[in-house]
Amino acid sequence: MAQTTSQKKLAFQLFGEGKKPSQISNRVSLKEQTLLRYFQEWKRLKGKEGGTRTKGQTVVETAKTKPVAGGTAAKRSVETIRRVSPRTSLPDKYILIDDTKCSNCMFCMLACSLAHEGKTSLSLSRIQMIADPLGKFPFDVVHKWNHDRSATPQCDFCVEAPYWDGDEVACATVCPMGAITVTTESPI
Amino acid sequence: MKGHTGKILKLDLTARKAEIIPTKKYEQWIGGLGMGTALFWDEVDKDYITDTSRISGFEPKNVLCIMPGILSGTIVPGNGRVDVCGIAPEGYPRPQFLHSNFGGHFGPMVKFAGYDGIVVTGKADKPVWVDIRDENVQIKDARHLWGLGFFDTEKQIWKEIAGKRRYGGWLDGTTQRSTILGIGPSGENLGRIACLVHGLDDGAGLGGFGGVFGSKNLKAISVIGTGSVEVARPKELLDVWQWAMKLKAGKPNRPRKGPALGATGEPKPSRSVSCFACTTLACQSKSVSSETGTVGTIGQCVERLFYVAEDTARHGKATGAEAAATQLVQDYTINACEAWDMLTWLETLYNRGLLGRGKHIDTDLDFTKLGTEEFVRDYLRKLAFREGIGNILAEGWARAAEKFGVLEEDLKSGELSAIHWGVGHQHWTNNIVWAYLSNFMARDCNAHDVTYGPTLDQTAERYAELAPPWHDPLMLDQSQTGVYSIHTARLVAWDSRFTSMKGSFPYCDFFHPDVFNEQTKDGKGISPEMEERFYAAVTGEALSWEKILEIGRKMWNLNRAILVLHGRHRNEEYFPPFPPYTSYVYEHEEGRPTLQSGSFGTRRDVDRAARKSFEFRTLPVMEYGTYKDGKWSYSTEPFPLEKAKHDEFKTLYYNLEGWDTQTGWPTRTTLVGCGLKQVADTLEKQGKHLKP
Ligand code: SF4
Ligand code: SF4
């Protein structure tokens, strides 16, 4: 038991130095699953520093319009999802999605469900890209955040994603078209 | 097993019943092509498929398997393809069992709905469509859909599913529209050239499976899946994904991103559109035509290309007639490969004075209008609705040529280059392996598995690495002697195994294998490590490259056994494979394309000036390597294939595969060695006496 505790401490210390579970797996004697669990725990604790997580940590905001490639027809309203981090050291973050760039590959949705739930599913993803194959460009793909559906958890900026330890959020990392961007500057 | 959902959905349309077949028994077949072949074998009446010259493929007894694979629905790149197999009416001289496949989002949705595949048998007494929403499967009346084009069918089905609700938010546990696979008029009218279409432009073209849907009174299958695919090691899968994508794994000759290939007067703005889990290829694009405002034309492949040359030749630039043609060919669900090759062939008939009003082939199809939108509308309508000459053309070009009395002449001259068992689509790379492989199956193989690296040394070395047990670098020697050698036979055998498995996982043909890679230090691609690692992460089980190829061999032999039942024999495996006709392939004349020119098809190369500037010509014309005195050298010097030597080659190949050299049939030992003893017994029972 003591052994485990000290291993956990060591892991937390290394996480604090910015190391990822995969980078320290040979420095601690812990099972991969356990290590990943500790990483989640550590991320949660870190998020809590100085305050409790409140509902509404993730909010959806609608920016006015943002011109995108394609001229007049392609003025789209850009909905952003925003992480508000009250009283923590983490800066606020926004995710921007440019629907006009989306190729409808679904990688973002697969990565989101895989990172959080450990299986792939469209319905379990926080981010939702919705295509109408017969629709007219650029209005044939829209995105949606599932804040309006209680059955699926809200986007948490991959803070509690047990299977993800990437530097950036999962969906933005896997998008091959560069349609998803994470920013700390308010787009509004 | 992780990756599989555990259930296969069987639709018996005669009884209007949906049943479940447990996947367990078929797990060894991985999925897709392999599992489809095994299901077909088990489900089909063997008397029905013994000697198929008596059948059309439109009988209720035909079994159609629509199969995603074990990786479908996961995040593994290139898993969006779906294998479709069954008796293909288009086959010539007789309908044969073959595989076609299509991309898009259908396969993964089938997995999310909880199924490893769909098997369709029987025939509904009235038109039906199948509404699948997870475990809720309903066979519904489709009389109101019959007669509609495919796009209207989709719209109507979406409307019925949504009712008063609107798309764009959550509906019954998903934000997604249902994915639909179905047919337009060409399929309803039993076109042997009708394909199955999904979404806007994904289609299973070869074989005429659209006509098989039509014969079963099946208009469409619509699927909504709100479930998930279980993965053994999620984190590892995400890691392997990032590793492979960082290295931009895939083929070097991948299509360009964005709309460019072939089409002129390029419409903008546009969207690159991809299949489910496609990497950066996004080989299709959706656009608004700058000329006509035609919306929603996507596809960078044959459906997009088939009328561009005509439009351009007439008008000096593409005017939008080509875009209209693209939309129409998909809405009617006509195989665009057929529509294209048939058109160029009909044009030669017209130029030879054989076709036109009051001519030998009497038709009001007006070739003076070729290149206009009016012409292509008339042409495609005739094909789809079997109007006038269309009634003959809908039978496919080999049967049409027979009916017109020009089959022998045109096969000999090369005007008609239906070399791969009458199934439209001519091979794209002029690689001898491609040609041989197609000849040993029942269609153009369309397997882009042999790609050339920076040097022939490297190419030979890499393929030797990828091809156990031989590890033979001379496989790449495609010289005048090389093409008849045991080395080439090994490359054909390797390709048959790899490509069977590629269709089973499935992996997109444009993506796998990663043989060369500019991102790695030594320029080596990351296959087979990539395939092994993805499989392990998804299933939690190890599958070595050797084992992958071994299972591929088993699939290839089962496929062969089905062809043997149909009547396949050594004495008909020639180019074109319809004895007694002689073939232009073996006869080299001045100016006539031979093995090393752009395609076995003549017409694309000799057509009018406009076609010469056409990008099709600049697709890689394959050089071939010759190994002599310890050194590789390139050559592009064409040479004819000699029939007698081709014959000797077959003996080498059959021996290598453990097939009887007299008949070309697998021996009993070979089948038993592959774990196919029951298959051997069945062949015997059906009167196919195998060599021990
Ligand atoms: S940021 Fe993370 S949790 Fe949010 S949608 Fe993207 S992948 Fe999902
Ligand atoms: S990963 Fe990017 S391109 Fe693919 S569906 Fe998501 S937003 Fe669209």
* CATH number of the domain within which A178 lies: 3.30.70
Give the integer Cα–Cα distance in Å for A171 and A157.
Answer: 9
Q: At what angle do helices B336-351 and B373-385 cross, to 10 degrees?
A: 110
Name the closest ligand to CA A146.
1
At B390 the pLDDT is 97
Which residues of A fall within a CB distance of 8 Å from B112? 121-123
Average pLDDT rounded to a whole number, residues B337-365: 92
The residue count of chain B comes to: 692
Q: Which ligand 2 atom is at minimum distance from the Cα of A143?
A: 7
Q: Pocket residues for ligand 1 (CB within 6 Å)?
A: A 111-112, 115, 126-127, 155-158, 169-171
Confidence tier at B434 by pLDDT (50, 70, 90)? confident
Instruction: Provide the 10 A C-beta neighbour count for residue B165.
Output: 11
Nearest residue to A137 (alpha-carbon basis) of A107, A109, A104: A104
At A53 the pLDDT is 36
Which residues of B fall within a CB distance of 8 Å from A117? 228
Name the residue facing B288 among A111, A137, A146 (closest C-beta).
A137
Average pLDDT rounded to a whole number, residues B11-15: 98
Q: For B390-418, write each residue's pLDDT tens digit.
A: 999 999 988 999 999 999 888 777 677 66
User: Number of residue pairs across A and B with CB atoms under 8 Å?
Assistant: 147
Average pLDDT rounded to a whole number, residues B287-303: 52
> E strand or H helix at B532, and its extent?
helix B529-539
Q: Which residues contact B42 (CB under 8 A, 6 or more apart)?
A: none
- Report the residue among A126, A129, A142, A174 best suited for mutation to probe ligand 2: largest number of ligand atoms under 8 A from its CB: A129
At A75 the pLDDT is 37
State yes or no: pLDDT of B607 exceeds 90: no
Q: Which residues pair with B121 in a beta bridge?
A: B12
State yes or no: pLDDT of B619 exceeds 50: no
Give the integer Cα–Cα distance in Å for B202 and B205.
Answer: 9
State yes or no: pLDDT of B211 exceeds 70: yes
Q: Which ligand 1 atom is at minimum distance from the Cα of A95?
A: 1
SS3 B625: strand
At B132 the pLDDT is 98
Average pLDDT rounded to a whole number, residues B535-544: 98
Give the tokens for residue B11: 């639709």
At B639 the pLDDT is 67
Give the integer Cα–Cα distance in Å for B4 and B67.
Answer: 12
Q: Write out residues 126-145 of A within 8 Å (CB-CB) of B.
A: 128, 130-138, 140-142, 144
Q: What stretch(es) of chain B map to CATH 1.10.569.10? A: 271-418
Give the tokens for residue B483: 């093409």
Give the tokens for residue A65: 């319009």
> E strand or H helix at B381, and its extent?
helix B373-385
At B303 the pLDDT is 78
At A49 the pLDDT is 46
Give the integer Cα–Cα distance in Å for B84 and B33.
Answer: 8
State yes or no: pLDDT of B601 exceeds 90: no
Give the integer Cα–Cα distance in Å for A113 and A107.
Answer: 10
Q: Which residues pair with B180 in a beta bridge?
A: B222
Q: For B356-391, write each residue's pLDDT tens digit.
A: 999 999 999 999 999 999 999 999 999 999 999 999
Are residues A179 and A103 both part of a single domain? yes
Q: How many structural domains does chain A have?
A: 2
Q: What is the DSSP string of B276-315?
A: TT--TT--EEEEE-TTT--EEE--SSHHHHTTHHHHHHHH
State yes or no: pLDDT of B263 exceeds 50: no
Please indicate if any CB of chain A lies within 8 Å of the CB of B78: no
Name the residue facing B238 among A114, A130, A144 (closest C-beta).
A114
Q: Within 13 Å and on the Cβ side, how many CA atoms surround B327?
A: 19
Q: For B234-246, write each residue's pLDDT tens digit.
A: 999 999 999 998 8
State yes or no: pLDDT of B189 exceeds 60: yes
Q: What stretch(es) of chain B map to CATH 3.60.9.10? A: 7-224
Nearest residue to B189 (alpha-carbon basis) of B207, B205, B213, B206: B213
Q: Within 13 Å and on the Cβ side, how many CA atoms surround B21?
A: 22
Are residues A75 and A12 both part of a single domain? no
The rounded Cα B43 to chain-centroid distance in angstroms is 22
At A68 the pLDDT is 41
Confidence tier at B344 by pLDDT (50, 70, 90)? confident
In angstroms, what is the span from residue B127 Cα to ligand 1's centroid?
Answer: 44
CA-based nearest residue in chain B for residue A107: B277
Average pLDDT rounded to a whole number, residues B182-191: 98
Which residues of B fall within a CB distance of 8 Å from A171? none
Q: What domain range includes position A17?
A: 2-49
Nearest residue to B255 (alpha-carbon basis) of B297, B278, B284: B284
At B6 the pLDDT is 97
State yes or no: pLDDT of B26 exceeds 60: yes
At B614 the pLDDT is 26
SS3 A166: coil
Are residues A89 and A143 both part of a single domain? yes
Give the integer Cα–Cα distance in Å for A186 and A83.
Answer: 11
At B449 the pLDDT is 86
Least confident of A60-69, A137-146, B154-163, B551-560: A60-69
Q: For B57-69, write each residue's pLDDT tens digit.
A: 999 999 999 999 9
Please indicate if any CB of chain A lies within 8 Å of the CB of B246: no
**A188 lies in a domain?**
no
Name the closest ligand to CA A177.
2
Name the residue facing A149 among B155, B170, B235 (closest C-beta).
B170
- Report the residue among A114, A175, A181, A182 best suited for mutation to probe ligand 2: largest number of ligand atoms under 8 A from its CB: A175
Give the integer Cα–Cα distance in Å for B47 and B59.
Answer: 13
At B617 the pLDDT is 25
The residue count of chain A comes to: 188
Q: Which CATH architecture describes the domain B271-418?
A: Orthogonal Bundle (1.10)
Q: Is the dihedral of CA B504, B302, B511, B594 positive or negative?
A: positive
Please indicate if any CB of chain B lies within 8 Å of the CB of A11: no
SS3 A62: strand
CA-based nearest residue in chain B for residue A71: B269
At B423 the pLDDT is 84
Confidence tier at B291 by pLDDT (50, 70, 90)? very low
Name the residue facing B238 among A100, A149, A164 (closest C-beta).
A164
Asked if the Cβ–Cβ distance from B241 to A174 is below 8 Å, we say yes
Q: Is A111 left (phi over 0), alpha (psi -120 to 50) or beta?
A: alpha
Most confident of A94-103, A147-156, B279-288, B496-505: B496-505
Q: Does domain B7-224 have CATH number 3.30.420.40?
A: no
Nearest residue to B455 (alpha-carbon basis) of B627, B295, B610, B594: B627
Which residues of B fall within a CB distance of 8 Å from A22? 239
At A171 the pLDDT is 94
The rounded Cα A29 to chain-centroid distance in angstroms is 29
Are residues A82 and A157 both part of a single domain? yes
Please indicate if any CB of chain A lies within 8 Å of the CB of B358: no
Asked if the Cβ–Cβ distance from A151 to B173 is below 8 Å, we say yes
Q: For B458-471, write each residue's pLDDT tens digit.
A: 889 999 999 999 99
Please indicate if any CB of chain A lies within 8 Å of the CB of B165: no
Please indicate if any CB of chain A lies within 8 Å of the CB of B152: no
Are residues A45 and A101 both part of a single domain? no
Residue nearest ligand 2's atom 2 by CA = A175
Asked if the Cβ–Cβ distance from B175 to A22 is below 8 Å, we say no
Average pLDDT rounded to a whole number, residues B606-613: 33
Please indicate if any CB of chain A lies within 8 Å of the CB of B177: yes
State yes or no: pLDDT of A91 exceeds 90: no
Asked if the Cβ–Cβ distance from B173 to A104 is below 8 Å, we say no
Q: Which residues contact B357 (CB under 8 A, 6 or more apart)?
A: B363, B364
Are residues A152 and A179 both part of a single domain? yes
Asked if the Cβ–Cβ distance from B74 to A163 is below 8 Å, we say no
Least confident of B42-46, B541-545, B581-585, B663-667: B581-585
Distance from CA of A59 to the nearest CA of B (A): 18
State yes or no: pLDDT of B576 exceeds 80: no
At A147 the pLDDT is 58
The label of the residue with tokens 């591929």 reads B552
Taking a C-beta distance cutoff of 8 angstroms, is the pair B226, B181 a contact?
A: no
> What is the dihedral angle through the alpha carbons of B289, B293, B296, B302, rounded to the nearest 10 degrees?
-40
At B313 the pLDDT is 85
At A33 the pLDDT is 76
At B568 the pLDDT is 96
Q: Which ligand 1 atom is at minimum distance from the Cα of A145?
A: 5
Which residues of B fall within a CB distance of 8 Å from A36? 235
Are residues A11 and A34 both part of a single domain? yes
In 3-state terms chain A splits into helix, strand, coil percentages (rounded to 5) of 30, 20, 45
Which residues of B fall within a CB distance of 8 Å from A114? 75, 231, 234, 237-238
Proportion of chain B above pLDDT 90, given as a percent: 62
In angstroms, what is the span from residue A127 Cα to ligand 1's centroid?
Answer: 6
At A46 the pLDDT is 66
At B577 the pLDDT is 75
At A79 the pLDDT is 54
> B672 vs A168, which has greater pLDDT?
B672
Name the residue facing B176 among A113, A117, A130 (closest C-beta).
A130
Are residues A45 and A113 both part of a single domain? no
Give the integer Cα–Cα distance in Å for B44 and B40.
Answer: 6
Please indicate if any CB of chain B lies within 8 Å of the CB of A97: no
In angstroms, what is the span from residue A176 Cα to ligand 2's centroid?
Answer: 7
Start-to-end C-alpha separation, chain A: 51
At B259 the pLDDT is 36
Give the tokens for residue B190: 């039993």
At B409 the pLDDT is 86
State yes or no: pLDDT of B270 exceeds 80: no
Are residues A79 and A104 both part of a single domain? yes
Q: Is the dihedral of CA B437, B438, B442, B445 positive or negative?
A: positive
Average pLDDT rounded to a whole number, residues B597-625: 35
Most B CBs within 10 A among A77, A120, A143, A163, hence the mutation to make, goes to A120
Confidence tier at B595 by pLDDT (50, 70, 90)? very low
Are residues A80 and A131 both part of a single domain? yes
At B593 the pLDDT is 41
